[in-house]
Amino acid sequence: MNGMASDHNASSQEEYLPHYLQKEDPFASKLSREADIVAGFYLTVIGILSTLGNGYVIFMSSKRKKKLRPAEIMTVNLAVCDLGISVVGKPFSIISFFSHRWVFGWMGCRWYGWAGFFFGCGSLITMTAVSLDRYLKICHLSYGTWLKRHHAFICLAIIWTYATFWATVPFAGVGSYAPEPFGTSCTLDWWLAQASVAGQAFILSILFFCLLFPTAVIVFSYVKIILKVKSSTKEVAHYDTRIQNSHILEMKLTKVAMLICAGFLIAWIPYAVVSVWSAFGQPDSVPIQFSVVPTLLAKSAAMYNPIIYQVIDCKFACCRSGGLKTLQKKSSLKKSR
């Protein structure tokens, strides 16, 4: 009986055809023209805001590049990844939505899929590195104190190498990039898992190394940070002003990192769930109209980061100016006395 079941599964995998092979034109839009126009306007707004916001972060950081702390260098790298997604990727999808079909063929589809996966993986691994930096700085001061600028640049080289490797692996014959079910965008070929055991192994490797493992590291780091901050708040109050100011700055950077990670995961988790279901659930069981929503939500992730960074930065500046005023008042009272 087991042999018959395995033969049945093997035959079903061989017979399965993904959506882009079932139809003569896989790049024709499966949405209404009105829905494509709305999605095109949505992505245009997202692309403009993301380009301006991340460009501003990179420009302002370049003016003080020699004073950037390791965590801030990582934030700049995150802005570079988000700007790359906006400049390299979004014009392809915007033009295709307004054209009511993917107009760049298979070569353009593979390039778009590669670029989206490359910059998306780079963003997530950058946030993983930031969370580890925050974890060491807050929870293990003996290790965190030796993390300098040159360590951050070494980490950047590792991040870009990691993202390049996993984004390029599909071109080696173990995976592929393919059109989305709605036709006007392209992504990693999640549907390979329905076709063969090798496809399942490839998709599982991608899920573990490019989603589950980095996310687990991020969650672990910030849970430990929250517990540490709760237990050490009273201790910091007894230190001198210089140590307190350093602690405030570290916490400001930690808040930025936590909010950026939360925004990224909130934007990408629905897309990851739909992709996993497409890979391992019932073939073609995700409705086409439903599959486009997580995709559009994921494409908005690049817009959140500069907003979060500037809001926290302005709030920190206000608190810092208030603290300076208090110190000035204390000094004037001492002089009058």
Q: Which helix (H) or strand (E) holds 188?
A: strand 186-188
Of 14 and 223, more confident: 223
- pLDDT band per the 50, 70, 90 thresholds, residue 318: very low
Alpha-helix runs per DSSP H in the chain: 2-15, 19-22, 33-62, 70-84, 90-99, 105-139, 141-144, 149-168, 197-207, 213-237, 241-280, 288-299, 301-336
d(CA 30, CA 183): 6
pLDDT of residue 311: 59
Residue 155 has pLDDT above 90, yes or no: yes
pLDDT of residue 300: 87
Q: CB under 8 Å to 112, separation ≥6 — which residues?
A: 89, 92, 93, 104, 177, 185, 186
Residue 74 has pLDDT above 90, yes or no: no
pLDDT in tens, 26-43: 899 999 999 999 999 999
Q: What is the separation, in whole angstroms, between the first and last Cα of the chain?
A: 95
> Cα-flanking dihedrals φ and ψ of residue 148, to 5°?
-110, -175
Q: Could you tell me the two tokens for 228?
A: 């540490």
- pLDDT band per the 50, 70, 90 thresholds, residue 337: very low
d(CA 127, CA 314): 22
pLDDT of residue 242: 56
d(CA 333, CA 329): 6
Residue 328 has pLDDT above 70, yes or no: no
Of 331 and 166, more confident: 166
Nearest to 274 by CA among 292, 259, 301, 299: 292
Calculate mean pLDDT across residues 62-81: 86
Architecture of domain 33-317: Up-down Bundle (1.20)
pLDDT of residue 290: 82
